[in-house]
Amino acid sequence: MGWRRGGQACGLCLALAACGAAGPTPRAAERAAADDGALPSAAVATGPELCGNAVDDNQNGLFDEGCGLSLGLVQFLAGWDAPKADVDLRVVDPNGELIEVGRVARSGLTKDRDCPGRASECQGRNLENVYLAEGQPIKGEYRLRLRLESLGGEAPPVRVRLAARLVAVSRFYEVSLETPEAEREIRFKL
């Protein structure tokens, strides 16, 4: 689906080049700017990493590290503050496979957080996390979809932060979801 502009489907596509570096390099996280639903801004280093906000607070290229989340060379992390709202992060890898909780896809990606659905793993935080659990990142298009499943009594809009890491490049987005079943799609190329 994606966003619509001028009657044609329009997904945000970012070409991300993989570097030969083994780990991330410090970079300013960026937010998409345009009519695609993301808000323009730049992250500012605040010192220690804050848990549960899906932001690279210390500007080291990793999101919420040291907070009990699994990390990988590829990682997609969604977080939101509305405690009763249910937002789903759906990731489809370059093979066309939907990444699911507790199962490693052929691409090596897995989902280890699905909140608030799996409350025992959520520890009071609304996060969903997909990461590269094994192997090397595969080249191609990664499609991410944020979907508001339920407001759960929360007042709209639900503001969702999305952190994306593809090898040594990190990006940060904020998206507003107004009504149940509202969706936003973001596409990345590696």
- Residues 43-94 have pLDDT tens digits of 555 667 777 777 767 677 777 766 677 888 899 999 998 888 999 999 999 9
3-class secondary-structure state, position 121: helix
- Band (19; pLDDT cuts 50, 70, 90): very low
CA distance 149 to 160: 13
CB atoms within 10 A of CB 45: 11
Dig out the tokens for 158 from the structure: 């639900």
- Band (148; pLDDT cuts 50, 70, 90): very high
Closest CA to 175 of 8, 34, 14: 34
Closest CA to 127 of 109, 111, 141, 144: 111
The overall pTM is greater than 0.85: no
Structural domain count, the chain: 1
Which segment, 23-32, 50-59, 91-100, 108-117, is predicted with the most confidence on average? Answer: 91-100
Higher pLDDT, 9 or 89: 89
Range of the structural domain that residue 33 is part of: 3-189
**Percent of the chain residues past pLDDT 70, beyond the cut:** 65
Instruction: Say yes or no to pLDDT of 3 above 60.
Output: no
3-class secondary-structure state, position 120: helix
- Band (4; pLDDT cuts 50, 70, 90): very low
Instruction: Say yes or no to pLDDT of 121 above 90.
Output: no
Calculated CA dihedral for residues 46, 51, 55, 58, nearest 10 degrees? 30
Higher pLDDT, 119 or 99: 99
C-alpha pair distances (Å), 82 with each of 54, 61, 111, 158, 184: 14, 26, 21, 6, 18
Average pLDDT of span 157-166: 91
